[in-house]
Copies of this chain bind each other. A is one copy, B any other.
Amino acid sequence: MTIDQLDARIVSLLTTEPRIGVLECSRRLGVARGTVQARLDRLAARGVITGYGPDIDPAALGFGVTAFVTLQIRQVAGHVPVADQLALIPEVLEAHTITGSGDMLCRVVARDNADLQRVIDLIVDVQGVVRTSSVIALDTPVSYRILPLVRAAGG
């Protein structure tokens, strides 16, 4: 159900130096290559590791503005669910339903503040969205990281 210290060390090492490969990883950790491979296979099978895709920085793509948009929803019968429509907007990076009153919270990006207005307009146009309220992320002193959690879980 959880991970042990070796799992945590493997993930930790691969996170900080993803290009080293399984063999080098096993060398660094002083275990057999088969062990590392088996561990990684198991972590993937258990869903702990969901992928190895390249991490993309939206800002480097020109989407320098990040905002969190809270939606107030009025569910309309016979319509495409709000989430499905939000998923069609590339700038909506993720969307959650949240406690409160059937509302949603979305993370969106945009090229600039004017572009953000465009994105918000797209969201407002979604069937069932009553109104939105946005906060813009000015700075990100702690950007998404999972390593401390992995180490805490594996300690």
List the interface of chain A (C-beta within 8 A of B). Answer: 1-3, 11, 14-16, 18-19, 40, 43, 46-63, 66, 68, 81, 83-84, 86-87, 89-100, 105-107, 109, 135-146, 148-153
Contact A49 B58 (CB under 8 A): no
Q: List 8 A-B contacts (CB under 8 A).
A: A2-B62, A14-B54, A49-B55, A50-B56, A56-B146, A56-B150, A84-B141, A95-B142
Copies of this chain, tallied across the complex: 2
A interface majority secondary structure: mixed
Partner of A57, one of B2, B16, B50, B92: B50
Q: Which residues of B contact A152 (CB under 8 A)?
A: 90-91
For the A-B complex with A1-B62, A15-B53 known, give 10 more contacts whose Cβ atoms are closer than 8 Å.
A2-B61, A15-B51, A18-B52, A40-B54, A56-B149, A91-B149, A94-B143, A96-B137, A98-B135, A106-B142
